């Protein structure tokens, strides 16, 4: 399970918009995905408290990560040794 990379958009002075990797996910993106700060840290996600934007691409990536993590936990919980 690989960690998603947060993407951010930035507008340059000449009007062009570039998309690049961000330092971490914003608090709004985590809230929209239903992930608490403690869960994000346990999953190994980076959090950028300075960002205020909420990009739907990042929210969808977080939701798929959360579903994959919960499926892994359910699969491991069902095993008995």
> E strands along the chain, which residues?
7-11, 17-21
Indicate the domain borders of the chain.
7-78
Contact between 9 and 19 under an 8 Å Cβ cutoff? The reply is yes
Q: Residue 80: what pLDDT?
A: 60
For residues 45 and 40, give the distance between their C-alpha atoms in angstroms, rounded to a whole number. Answer: 5
Dump pLDDT digits (tens) for 51-69. Answer: 999 999 999 999 999 999 8
For residues 41 and 63, give the distance between their C-alpha atoms in angstroms, rounded to a whole number. Answer: 15
Structure tokens at 15: 């009007």
The model carries a pTM of 0.84
Give residue 17's pLDDT band: very low, low, confident or very high (50, 70, 90). Answer: very high
Dump pLDDT digits (tens) for 27-41. Answer: 999 999 999 999 999
């Amino acid at each position: 399970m690989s960690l998603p990379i947060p993407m951010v958009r930035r507008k340059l002075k000449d009007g062009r918009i570039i998309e690049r990797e961000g330092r971490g996910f914003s608090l709004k993106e985590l809230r929209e995905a239903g992930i608490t700060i403690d869960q994000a840290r346990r999953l190994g996600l980076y959090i950028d408290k300075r960002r205020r934007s909420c990009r739907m691409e990042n929210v969808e990536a977080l939701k798929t990560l959360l579903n994959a993590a919960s499926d892994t936990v359910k699969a491991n919980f069902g095993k008995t040794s």
